Chain A
Amino acid sequence: MIETPGFRWFRRIGLTFLFILVALPLYVVVVTSVKPLADVRGLFTWVPSTVTIEPYLEIWRTVPLAHYFKNSLIVTTLATVFSVIIAIMAAYAVARLNFRGQRSFSLVVLSTQMFPGILFLLPLFLIFTQIQRTVGLQLNGSYTGLVITYLTFTLPFAIWMLAGYFASIPRELEEAAMIDGTSRAGAFIRVVIPVAKPGIIAVAVYSFITAWGEVLFASVLTNNDTRTLAIGLQAYANQTDVYWNQLMAASVVVSLPVLIGFMLVQRHLVAGLSAGSVK
């Protein structure tokens, strides 16, 4: 694209606007997290009167945040890993193979995107309870229940993304490998997956983010032992007080893993999405 001076100006103004839009709340969160509590009460100030790291030390005592952190890491990581594996398998079938019910499968999977979460929150809980009673497999209040719930939430989008991605990979690549004597499964794992890495990363990021911040289902499906970070954050605001500085400090801590992960894979993300979404 040939850039005109007008375009450059438009770019400067547009990006400045977007930058401020994104930066403003982030600045408020960070600056509030280093203010003493007395400073947080009363009118917001751009610059703290005193900078303190006290909130970052107190957050671990006010709420068992470290414990919730561990829970979130376990649940989110497992959900992401399994979601990606299951999505890869299904997406490959959709993109490469022919089977009866293919169209229905695709349609049904995609249409689950429109289910309002509250419609099946209680039913899901009741079903988990029945499974528990019948086979003794603990689902409510356990990691397993939360993991399978989250991984399923992200499946439709993940399958759709990856199916598009696989479809964009030339069949000849696999066929060449199969002529060399590799099985279909072998060709899939050795040839297709490495090529599809950006798409897989994109899907993994999406799954991770979705599971990391989920609140509604976690509030019903977790207990003291398995409570996740997103739920734990709410404990900084209780009846007697709102510890705004601690809440903001905890928010920073909770967001950091996602943000760091994001930055590490950012480059692959756009590449992955661009091949997957458009085809």
Chain B
Amino acid sequence: MKIPVKALSTFAVLGLGMSSLAACGSASGEATSGDTLTYWASNQGTTVEDDRKVLEESLARFTEETGIEVELEVIPWTDLYNRILTAVSSGEGPDVLNIGNTWATTLQETGAFLPFEGEALEAVGGQDRFIQSSWSTGGAEGETPTSIPLYGLSYSLYYNTEMFAAAGIEAPPETWDEFVDTAKKLTIDTDGDGQIDQWGVSLAGSSISNNAHQAFVRGLQAGGSLFDENGEPTFASDEQVAGVKQWIDLMATDKVVSPSNAEFTGGSQMVEDFAAGNAAMFFDQAPAKTLNARGFENFAAAPVPLTNPDATGDEATMSHVAGINLSIFNETDNEEGALKLAAHLTSDEEQVYLNKAFTALPVLTAAYEDEAFQSEEIKLKQEILENNAKPMPLISQEGQMETLVGTAMKNLFAQAATGTVTEDDIRKALEDANSQMAAAQ
């Protein structure tokens, strides 16, 4: 009868605990003290175990330099957000952790993370070392960032060079119209059985985040935006509808996307489709590793086509600023050590090492001098990240926005796969999402 006794005492204490709650509002957490730090890393590579090996090597160098041990936990994506929630609400978390950079503003509002200003900012070498677009994802505009960039990514267009050559297409498309034309040329029935077996484009119609990214980029290119300057949602503005329509139309009216893509829930299925030769083009952030792992080499990267080729500023956006940021938990007992770890992971050498291992983009301009980042693909993606990328809206309900817009588009793709989608359908879907968003704010 061990448990009942234990439980009894627990219960007795629970009563005590509840009555003295007010007194101990935010007790100190378990954040380890002295010479050990806890680090929660997001899953970047192909498996959690692979990531652990990559990171342990880097952390060993850190321990050697500083004498501080690091307890590493690589957390799968499905768990990370919930784990951060538990850490924030309980005050028991790691000292240093990774966050999706689109969560930065939400998490900033919790007040659980250390602001990077003054000495903290100096400890990581100041803002100017970083790629400025990546840096801008660190928190809400006009606020001191509570996260700093760690890994960078950006969308570009990937195309099958063999299929392009076979169709006599010499250069990748530069404008959206050219892109759609090219896609139409590449959508063919190769074996003459009356069924199209090579499609122009592959996309993940059921991926909430991919859809939301496209709504953001295509909307900006069309002169729209998801939110106006007062922070009110404008999902259903004429420009925004036009932008989303471009994306949906790839399946609905241009017929250059296989209807089966409406069901793809993640980028991996899209990459698989491309690697299997079912599609000639797709937009993605870092598929090279997966493609190489399948022995697929006939591909090249190009800039994301623009609606208006002469556009500048927002209308020349090709990607959102994708990536992972790093934050320090306020409740850490070892702020100095945590900052050292942040500095280590964003140092020139470690940025080269880590981003090479994870096929991501360094977030420091200096790191690109390394020979690992001289390929055309990387240079292109760096260029897009630095000059043609805008952060997703820096609002606390960013996640909700992605869910609402992404789901609306998922439903439109479902409709397109089996029937027709009109402009009114798109407008209606975005209006519904808009009113949900407004109600949530």
Contact = CB atoms under 8 A, between A and B. Distances in A.
Are A and B close enough to touch in the complex, i.e. CB under 8 Å? Answer: yes
Interface of A: 41-42, 61-64, 82, 85-86, 122, 125-127, 129-135, 137, 140, 144, 147-148, 151, 219-220, 223-224, 231, 234-235, 238-242
B16 A134 contact: yes
A224 B86 CA distance: 14
Given A125-B89, A129-B92, A131-B10, A62 B49 contact: yes
Given A134-B13, A241-B46, 13 more contacts: A82-B3, A130-B14, A131-B13, A132-B92, A140-B92, A147-B3, A148-B3, A151-B3, A231-B79, A238-B46, A240-B267, A240-B268, A241-B268
A238 B82 contact: no
- Among B24, B27, B77, B79, find the residue whose CB has the most chain A CB atoms closer than 10 A: B79
B76 A64 contact: no
B230 interface: no
B21 interface: yes
A82 B1 CA distance: 9
13 contacts: A62-B47, A131-B14, A132-B92, A133-B17, A140-B86, A147-B3, A220-B86, A223-B83, A239-B43, A239-B266, A240-B267, A241-B46, A241-B268
A220 B82 contact: yes
Query: Dominant SS at the A interface?
Result: helix
B46 A240 contact: yes
Interface of B: 1, 3-4, 6-7, 9-10, 13-14, 16-18, 20-21, 24, 27, 43, 45-49, 73, 75-79, 82-83, 86, 89-92, 266-268, 272, 276, 289-290
A224 B97 CA distance: 14
Contacts of B1: 85
B3 A134 contact: no
A135 B289 CA distance: 49
Contacts of B43: 238-239
Query: Dominant SS at the B interface?
Result: helix
B272 A41 contact: yes
* Nearest 6 Cβ contacts at the A-B interface: A134-B17, A129-B90, A224-B73, A130-B17, A135-B13, A133-B27
Contacts of A126: 89-90
Given A126-B90, A129-B90, A63 B276 contact: no
- Among A63, A122, A144, A235, find the residue whose CB has the most chain B CB atoms closer than 10 A: A235
B74 to A, nearest CB: 8
Contacts of A134: 13, 16-17, 20, 24
B73 A223 contact: yes
Given A231-B79, A235-B48, A125 B90 contact: yes
B17 A63 contact: no
Contacts of A42: 276
A135 B76 contact: no
B76 A235 contact: yes
B14 A127 contact: yes
